Amino acid sequence: MKNTFIGLATAALVALTGASTAQAQGQGLLDTIITRDSLLCTGHNGSYLGFAEVDAAGAWQGFDIEFCKALATAILGSPNKLQVIPVSWAQRFPALQSGDVDVIVKVTGWTQTRDTELGLQYSRPYFIGPFYVMAKKELGATGIADLEGGVFCVNAGTTVERVLTDYMASKGIQYESLAFEKGEELRSALYAGRCDAIAGFGPFLSATRVEAPDPEAYQILGDVLALEPEGIVVRQGEDDLLDVINWTVSALLMAEESGITQANVDEIKANPPSPTIARLLGVTPGVGTRLGISDDFAYNVIKAVGNYGEIYDRTVGDGSRYKLPRGLNNLWNQGGLLYPLVLD
Amino acid sequence: MAETMPDTLIGAMAPPVIRSGPAAWLRKHFFATWYDAVFSVLFAVLIVWVLQALLQWTVIDAIWRVENRDLCTREAGACWAVIESRGRLILFGLYPFDEQWRSTLACLAIIVTIALSCLPAFWSFKRLPALWIAGFGIFVLLMRGGFAGLPLVTSEQWGGLSLTLFIFSGVVVIGMPLAVLFALARRSSLPVIAKSFGFFIDIVRSLPLLALLFAAAVVVPLLLPDALAGNKLMRVVVAFAIFFAAYQAEIIRAGLQSIPNGQGEAAVALGMPYWSRVIDILLPQAFRNTLPSTINQAVITFKETSIVTIIGFFEVMASGNAAIGNGEWGNQYVEVYVFLALIYFVFVFGLSRYGAWLEQRMRLGHD
């Protein structure tokens, strides 16, 4: 998503590399991954709250990392056949083009330039990234409009600044903006009472609130400043790999929709309640071989990382320190925007 | 005899005021005038206040153990529990947890190599290269493993302090001979060589280090076949070394220019061959004359190693950022940065003291 640090340089590099991409295309990337028996997925150069973190033992954790694990399991049968390559925001597209990574799972927004000029291809969104405003509770605001004339703190030079400006201009709300270079400075300013509200990416706001001296003093307002659909990214032309990614994400969502969890997947596989679920878990063969992977890929994935809801809960949701509400990232029948594809 | 004795004593002078002892010293240096006194008291109060607050934060109110994590609030003192919990991540980065003893040994190997190569006993054209080949060899074997039951750890997983030291020493060890070469080439009597090396140095110096490293990490593998491109860490160290060499070459050139022409001419008249002139006469003096700037350049390079984080290497600074980039320890950034500053301080201060010792040994500035 954010941080356009040397973004121009990246774009130029990628443009430069566009030509040489073709040489790697004699064999599909999916076959290359299977031959290599390991999937190269993006990490972060540091930790990115809730999405790609390093734990005390130096192992990768987080929402994005779970999706890397799910893909490794779908293609190769085991979450351990994953190699996480640390890359910075600026480095992710060149790293993909040069083959340092096979896929980008790095809260990467689906924008037109990236989709076309940078020669990338996006999966269906696996996360809907909302930008929110978090305000001091004592102000009693129920929406952003109630904060007219207040001091809004944001990170300098990020998407957030633009998104907030756009939103406020369209609603005609007057406000004062204070920009900070680093997340830490922004937090300190908020805790010190210099800001009435801060705007930012949902997970960041949640983390800021959880870590506050008094978390109850702040509330995230319901108004969504902007949405950024985050997709998993592959190089243009890797259709086989993209199919696998889309159907893996879909399988995770379908598992949640049908109540299949990491704990009960064996039970359900032994006695599938419906023909669709029998197909999903590979009891009725077909779904995997069409993709060029094993028929029980969905079973393996659910066994390894759980369904979409479990992943969410464990890494950024109620089971984590961030307590990020499901909101738009819920299933369609729970008031969210996510839905599985049709498995026939 | 008696006649010469004066009848009366000459008026005795008061004994001289004793101007020694702590009281007098204090009076002379701090309370000589009324405004001296005011400022002295003011600053004394300020210093005591700051020191007391610092002590309060770092020691008295500090929370040391992870089990007391919940006491870490913004009102409490330093939360050193973060170092206990995340210290190994800061020091070792992504290096596999169970293998971190290897990283420790490798780190020690590099430190010992650096320390030994600082000793004049090792300064010869045979010993120094042998020492560094051995040092790097042990480092790479330990870090990489893949033999005798040690699991293979690829350089993507290297991290923390040992990576920082590896990059720093790699850059200096490769960069220093390159710098000498660049400096000599720039002073070459053949205009083609002198001009082209001058041009090359100017180009490298006018590029940002970040762009250079980025290109080495990302663009080079696209342009070269796999076999030539080598591994990413190696490319980055080499690119960094070229950058270092461009700056260091100018420092050495300044040193060469400070040597009177007569010396080189005398050597030519004696029939000394070129390399003997350079190695025995010019370079020792050039290095001696530019020691302060060379140490300066080394210190800057040590601190600049943290820039490799932008191409996904977990050196000690990036590991520190990873340590605070989670919900649990996100607020303890001050403690982690203080810890990192201490690590940098130990090495940089050691480097500067070594420089000072060298200067004294060569009696620089005394002649």
Q: Say which of A13, A54, A85 has its CB closest to residue B89.
A: A54
User: Is A185 part of a structural domain of the chain?
Assistant: yes
Nearest CA in chain B to A15: B219
Indicate the residue type of B162. S
Sketch out chain B's domains with CATH numbers.
81-361 (1.10.3720.10)
H or E element at residue A137: none
The pLDDT of residue B99 is 86
Task: Tell whether the model's pLDDT for residue A17 goes beyond 80.
Answer: no
Q: Are B76 and B61 within 8 A, CB to CB?
A: yes
User: Is A58 part of a structural domain of the chain?
Assistant: no
Q: What is d(CA A101, CA A27) in angstroms, rounded to the nearest whole number? A: 16
Task: Tell whether the model's pLDDT for residue A18 goes beyond 70.
Answer: no
User: Is A217 part of a structural domain of the chain?
Assistant: yes
Complex prediction ipTM: 0.74
Task: Tell whether the model's pLDDT for residue B206 goes beyond 90.
Answer: yes
A9 with B331: Cβ contact below 8 A: no
Distance of CA B40 to the CA centre of its chain: 35
Nearest CA in chain B to A320: B327
The pLDDT of residue A26 is 59
Residues of the domain holding A200: 130-227
User: Is A255 part of a structural domain of the chain?
Assistant: no
Query: Length of chain B in residues, anyone?
Result: 367
Shortest Cα–Cα distance, B83 to chain A (Å): 10
- Quote the number of domains for chain A: 1
Which tens digit of pLDDT belongs to each residue from B152-202?
A: 888 888 888 989 999 999 999 999 999 999 999 998 889 999 999 999 999
- Domain with A151 in it: what CATH number? 3.40.190.10
Q: What is the mean pLDDT of chain A?
A: 87
Across the range A77-87, mean pLDDT stands at 92
Q: Which two tokens stand for residue A307?
A: 């369904």
B333-361 helix and B316-324 helix, angle to the nearest 10 degrees: 160
CB-CB neighbors (< 8 A) of B91 in chain A: none
Q: What is d(CA B359, CA A263) in angstroms, rounded to the nearest whole number? A: 69
Across the range B117-130, mean pLDDT stands at 83
Give the contacts of A227 (CB within 8 A, at least 6 positions apart). A128, A129, A130, A131, A328
Residue to substitute from B326, B333, B335, B338, interface A, most A β-carbons within 10 A: B326
Most confident of A211-215, B63-67, B98-102, B148-152: B98-102
Residue A56: count other Cβ atoms within 10 Å of its Cβ.
17
DSSP string of B278-345?
Answer: IIIIIHHHHHHHTHHHHHHHHHHHHHHGGGGGGGT-EEHHHHHHHHHSSTTTTT-HHHHHHHHHHHHH
Q: What is d(CA A49, CA B321) in angstroms, rounded to the nearest whole number? A: 11
Residue with tokens 């939360």: B79
Which tens digit of pLDDT belongs to each residue from A250-294?
A: 999 999 999 999 999 999 999 999 999 999 999 998 899 999 999
B3 confidence band (pLDDT: 50, 70, 90): low
Q: Give the residues across from A131 on adjacent strands.
A: A201, A226
Q: What is d(CA A23, CA B353) in angstroms, rounded to the nearest whole number? A: 53
Which of A123, A77, A84, A62 has its CA nearest to residue A247? A123
The pLDDT of residue B366 is 52
Shortest Cα–Cα distance, B275 to chain A (Å): 43
In this structure, of A38-42, A115-119, A243-247, B224-228, the range with the lowest mean pLDDT score is B224-228
Q: What is d(CA B359, CA B254) in angstroms, rounded to the nearest whole number? A: 18
Q: Cα angle vertex B237, ends B231, B243, to 5°?
A: 140
The pLDDT of residue B339 is 94
In this structure, of A121-130, B76-85, B168-177, the range with the lowest mean pLDDT score is B76-85
Which tens digit of pLDDT belongs to each residue from B51-66?
A: 999 998 888 888 888 7
Q: In angstroms, what CA-CA distances link B54 with A276, B74, B81, B83?
A: 65, 15, 18, 18
User: Is A103 part of a structural domain of the chain?
Assistant: no
Shortest Cα–Cα distance, B308 to chain A (Å): 10
User: Is A31 part of a structural domain of the chain?
Assistant: no
A7 confidence band (pLDDT: 50, 70, 90): very low
User: Is A110 part of a structural domain of the chain?
Assistant: no
The pLDDT of residue B7 is 67
User: Is A195 part of a structural domain of the chain?
Assistant: yes
Radius of gyration of chain A (CA): 21
